[in-house]
Amino acid sequence: MSKGKRYTQEFKIEAVKQITERGYSDAEVSERLDICTKTLYHWRSQLLRKPKQTKSSDEQLRVAKLKAQLKHVTEERDILKKPMSNRTLEDNRLLKLINAFYVARGGTYGSPWIHVDLREAGEQCSVNRVAKVMR
């Protein structure tokens, strides 16, 4: 069973060029080339769509990498733009004190003893908070 005539890609491109570049109507071209107008419409839609999709794989890969890098940098910028809460600022200050006491005691103190040292230094915080900040 035959599926009809087969046309080369060059023939299809030339037929579509007659419509798009040379200004002939669809009916004129289809009659002159002895092809169905619906086939001509189909070729035109395929060929006009193709240039948008024919980026080289290197370009597509480069664009994908750049988009991923842009997303990463944008996320970092947004994180840096967010102001830190008072609790986070206080935890950072407390962490500096904890590190100082920890190093001063030879790096062997746990949170209960660090808590005692902080209380003696005038800091008010719970043992659980010291343990959380030390993690």
pLDDT level of residue 119 (50, 70, 90 thresholds): very high
pLDDT at 52: 52
pLDDT level of residue 60 (50, 70, 90 thresholds): confident
pLDDT at 33: 87
pLDDT for 101 beyond 50: yes
What pTM was estimated for this model as a whole? 0.41
Report the b/e string of 76-113 with b at 16+ CB within 10 A. Answer: eeeeeeeeeeeeeeebeebeebbeebbeeeeeebebee
Please, which residues have CB within 8 angstroms of residue 35's CB and are 6 or more apart in sequence? Answer: 7, 15
pLDDT at 20: 85
